[in-house]
Amino acid sequence: MYSKALDPAIMKTMLDADFPAESLSQPQYAVIVEKDVMMTMRDGTLIACNVYRPDIPGEFPALHAADSYQKDLVDLPLLPIFHMRETNDIEFFVSRGYVFIHSDSRGTGHSTSGQWDLFGEEMQNDLYDMTEWIAEQDWCDGNVGMLGESLLAWSQWFTAVQQPPSLKCILPWDAGADMYRDVAWHGGMMAVGFPTAWNMWEIRGHYHLGWSDRDPGFVPANPEMGRWDMVWNVMQHPTYDDFWKTRNPDFRRIQVPVFVVGALHKVGLHLRGVVRGFEELTTPKKMMLVHGELDGDEMAIYNTLEMQLLMLRWYDHWLKGIDTGFMDEPAVSMFVRGADEYKPAADWPLPETEYRKLYFNDSLSGAVESLNDGSLSWEAPTVSDSSFTYHYPDQDWTHFSGGGTAAIENGVPFGQRRIPTFTSAPLEEDLEIAGNIVLVLYASTDQRNTDFFVRLTDQWPDDEQIPEVPPKDLILTRGWLKASHAGTKSEELSRPDRPYYLHDKAEAVVPGEINKYEIEIWPTTNVFKKGHRIRIDVAVGDSPALDFGGHYYGIKVGNDTYYHDAERPSHVILPVIPSAAQNS
């Protein structure tokens, strides 16, 4: 499926990629490079940047990639594995009449003054100051845009929120937004996996930022440079406090056009911020959801010629005033798994969405070997008392060999064998979903707290399954909620398709009390094909063998009960897209 995401026949459907390339800016310039040009910030801090510009005198629009991963990594070979690819192809844009500025954040790379504080107030001020510095240079015509992936995309949100007058458009690719909910504390549970890996990959390898104030035996290479330890900061701020509020961009303040791109598989990191940003923006906007199966796939897609031409249409329109027709096209282009094609949409959520409920019940589905093999039904339950009690830890969980809540047999992880599941009957016709998803779970616990880990899965037909191995399926998306964080939901910010918890405090659960939990499941797209099944997995923990960026803790002990009767009808709310046949 990954190769299909790069297939030109499919790429053609993305926002009219048939637009004639000869109408866009053409490659006609060689590239002049000026390294370590210093920009002076309002507090006197010097920020280093590399300037790549056309080889003739004149004024050109500028594209700024605001980095914290060392700008000079662009000197590495041009392979997607290197982080410099998060800037895209510099020569592609410069040869077409753009100046490209690649900057190191304060306290990183060659910006050796100041302390690096990831998206703190000083870094946000720097983003404003850098934009205006760029616009004032004699090689710039006063029009500044931005580009970049991941952290470089996050930088674009925070720049636009600052409202620098010279910023004319942004194109954040694979951008998160809310650092608390998107990265650090999913549903109130610390996401150990990504922050820990990020510290190992980036901090020690790139910045020489020491932990000398906590580890006197470690002396940083440059004691004057800042120290920013993601794991330390995450652990110090377990609730949504001022530290996190500063690092959550207010999209209502953004006044420039935005083309935001997300990857459907980046659940637990970027995808939620992409979709939320698009939903809350009030400026001219476009959104594209691309496809990938592995972390890094979106980087390969980002660096295709088709994508570069698409980006050029955006920049030519907003920075050069060329009529590229870009804004005349549908607001959303999304890859739909199952159909394996890109589809246009007028908005997100899709205006034609029909929200349908699939209810838990205790009938055996016969589809998967799990603790309960429960079912999902379109009919609401009518029984007066029905529930399932989940005891943990399970004796068959493999804790110390990468299994977590998975059972491992003959080296094969079974992610469902020792957890509760709820599975639909085989579908009688194709069912398409696109949007945000909610699980409404009625549950109790004999503990003062518990965790809910939810997976939405597309399970292949029974005749395609292989005996004695896990069912052939695709995990589409996930959701999380810590029970002690469920008491402070914002009625103002919550929507039927996305509950919004304040996470401002933790309140102990009353053991034995039955509560209604509304669990946000991150958005996705998919066509469940005829004969496939829809499955919901619910567990008390992640599995390192199965889950990216997981939440790995010590062994938990408890008993949780999930209810599915007439009075307590646990159900998942799916954003169903009616087919053309149904509409007719």
pLDDT by residue, tens only, the chain of 584 residues: 223 344 444 444 444 556 677 789 999 999 999 999 999 999 999 999 999 999 999 999 999 999 877 777 776 555 545 544 677 788 899 999 999 999 988 888 788 777 778 888 989 999 999 999 999 999 999 999 999 988 899 999 999 999 999 999 999 998 889 999 999 999 999 987 777 777 766 655 455 444 444 444 444 444 444 456 788 888 899 999 999 999 999 999 999 999 999 999 888 889 999 999 999 999 999 999 998 655 555 666 777 888 889 999 999 999 999 999 999 999 999 999 999 999 999 999 999 999 999 999 999 999 998 999 999 999 999 999 999 999 988 776 655 444 466 666 656 666 677 889 999 999 999 999 999 999 999 999 999 999 999 999 999 998 887 777 777 888 999 999 999 999 999 988 999 999 999 999 999 999 999 999 999 999 999 999 999 999 999 988 876 666 655 666 667 899 999 999 999 999 999 999 998 544 43
pTM for the full predicted model: 0.89
Domains by residue range for the chain, with CATH? 2-177+249-345 (3.40.50.1820), 179-248 (no CATH), 354-578 (2.60.120.260)
**CA 141-144-148 angle, 5° bins:** 145
Place of tokens 């998803």: 437
Judge whether 76 and 53 are in contact, CB under 8 Å.
no
> Tokens representing 103?
């900057």
| DSSP state letter for 161 | H
pLDDT at position 408 is: 62
Judge whether 350 and 575 are in contact, CB under 8 Å.
yes
Give the whole-angstrom CA distance, residue 253 versus residue 177: 14
On the 0-12 / 13-18 / 19+ scale of CB atoms within 10 A, 529 is middle
pLDDT at position 544 is: 60
Tally of CB atoms within 10 A around 215: 9
> Tokens representing 73?
């990594």
Q: Nearest to residue 443, comparing CAs of 514, 389, 512, 390?
A: 514
Q: Write the Ramachandran bin of 146: left for phi over 0, alpha for psi from -120 to 50, otherwise beta.
A: beta
